[in-house]
Amino acid sequence: MADGFDPTPADRFTFGLWTVGNRGADPFGGPVRAKIPLRRILDKLAEAGAHGVNLHDNDLVPFGAGAAERDLIVADFKQGLADTGLVVPMATTNLFSHPVFRDGAFTASDPKVRAYAVRKAMSAIELGVELGASTIVFWGGREGTETDAARDCRDAIGWFRQCLDFLCAWTKDQGWELRFALEAKPNEPRGDIYLATTGHMLHFISTLEHGEMCGVNPEVAHENMPGLSMVHAVAQAMECGKLFHIDLNGQRIGRYDQDLRFGSEDAKGAFFLVRLLEGFGGRPAYTGPLHFDAHAYRSEDEDGVWDFAKGCMRTYKILAARARAFDQDAEVQQILAASHADPDGVAPLLKGYSAASAAALAALPLDPDALAATGKRYERLDQLAMEHLFGARG
């Protein structure tokens, strides 16, 4: 179907091995799909038009594998990448599956567990570097508590910082130019996970020794689970130059982490998110990989997995086209121009304090009743957004 929405590698779409490799297990039932061989995952993703694959250390190399086994697996995988043209832009560490992490990894109360977690992350970073990754994601699934009787949260945050400082310094010492992207999630699998949102992470990064190499990896589901705005989280990260990676998926508010096909829930949120990522209003676009951290419904067989993957990518491209049409719509531009208008040149007064600007501010004729008198026309503006989103306009 040549409608312009089928993806190509130039679109920078990536999937985790764990996403298309997800076998449909949930807390109430085991896998429903057979394991898809790694090579077929690569072939199918390349055929679908993806740009790359991301992985946890143990998605590729089984936990506990010896050096020889590891090297064979990695060599084989690299051959698959070379044959398909796929790249590995991001790698991460599984610091949550093994029982050793039952009380956390970087925030575990037992220092030996923290040491083990740092050592495991070092090996995963080495693997990432070997595969050409430039971003390392840190998702601390077990970094949290069910009961705050367990430890002082301030200690946990301090240990988290120590571990990241250690890993940043070690990475620099190796001469690797990597960026670390920290991913927040409010809960699941822990009752409460430390540094619950992208906003928490952004502040935490500002306290790190090498904060300049650390940014965030916001996920739609993780911001939406507690009912927060993914658009605002991503915008804040972009505004301070910290959007290093992104996990796109679909989620309904208040539920478990659904990791649904991108755009399949909250299409309007997805529309404004894609608009933000693509750049609008003269602002730069996000240029990193567009990663889908989602998986097919449990109802699906392998064909459904590839329907899911294509669906994520097509939806992104469709939303990008709809967002462009919205921004090019003359009526939209007119409403926005009217709400931002500054006929008396007031805005520059607030761009930095001086005694003169304070005096000018004091002298400004500002009548709050007059300023409050006119509606903003956002009902019309939002309806225009919806009509573009529905494909009914432009």
Query: What is the set of active-site residues?
Result: 56, 59
Partner from Mn ion, ligand GCO, none contacting 92, C-beta within 5 to 8 A by type = ligand GCO
Min separation Cβ 18 and ligand GCO, Å? 7
By CB under 5 A, tell whether 265 contacts Mn ion.
no
Partner from Mn ion, ligand GCO, none contacting 135, C-beta within 5 to 8 A by type = none
* Closest chain position to ligand GCO (CB): 139
Partner from ligand GCO, Mn ion, none contacting 265, C-beta within 5 to 8 A by type = none
By CB under 6 A, tell whether 265 contacts ligand GCO.
no
Q: Which position among 103, 183, 223, 265 is part of the footprint of ligand GCO (CB under 6 A)? A: 183
Residue 273's nearest CA partner among 216, 313, 226, 319 is 319
- H/E run at residue 353: none
392 token code pair:
């009914």
- Secondary structure of 178-245 in HEC code, one letter for each residue: CEEEEECCCCCCCCEECCCCHHHHHHHHCCCCCHHHEEECCEHHHHHCCCCCHHHHHHHHHHCCCECC
Min separation Cβ 257 and ligand GCO, Å? 5
Of 143 and 329, nearer to ligand GCO (C-beta) is: 143
- H/E run at residue 349: none
Total residues contacting ligand GCO by CB under 6 A comes to 9
Residue ranges with strand state E in the chain = 13-16, 52-56, 90-92, 135-139, 144-145, 179-183, 192-193, 214-216, 247-248, 290-292
17 token code pair:
């091995």
Of 17 and 384, nearer to ligand GCO (C-beta) is: 17
Residues numbered 194 to 253 that lie near Mn ion (CB under 5 A) are: 219, 221, 247
By CB under 6 A, tell whether 57 contacts ligand GCO.
no
d(CA 293, CA 223): 13
By CB under 6 A, tell whether 143 contacts ligand GCO.
no
Sheet containing 214-216, strands listed edge to edge, beginning at the edge strand earlier in sequence = 214-216, 179-183, 135-139, 90-92, 52-56, 13-16, 290-292, 247-248
d(CA 297, CA 21): 12
Residues numbered 282 to 311 that lie near Mn ion (CB under 5 A) are: 293
Q: Cis ω on the peptide bond leading into residue 9 (within 30° of 0)?
A: no
Min separation Cβ 170 and ligand GCO, Å? 19
By CB under 6 A, tell whether 219 contacts ligand GCO.
yes
Of 103 and 247, nearer to ligand GCO (C-beta) is: 247
> Would you give the DSSP letter of residue 256?
S
Contacting residues toward ligand GCO, per CB under 6 A: 92, 137, 139, 183, 185, 219, 247, 257, 293
Q: Note the residues at the interface with Mn ion (CB under 5 A).
A: 219, 221, 247, 257, 259, 293
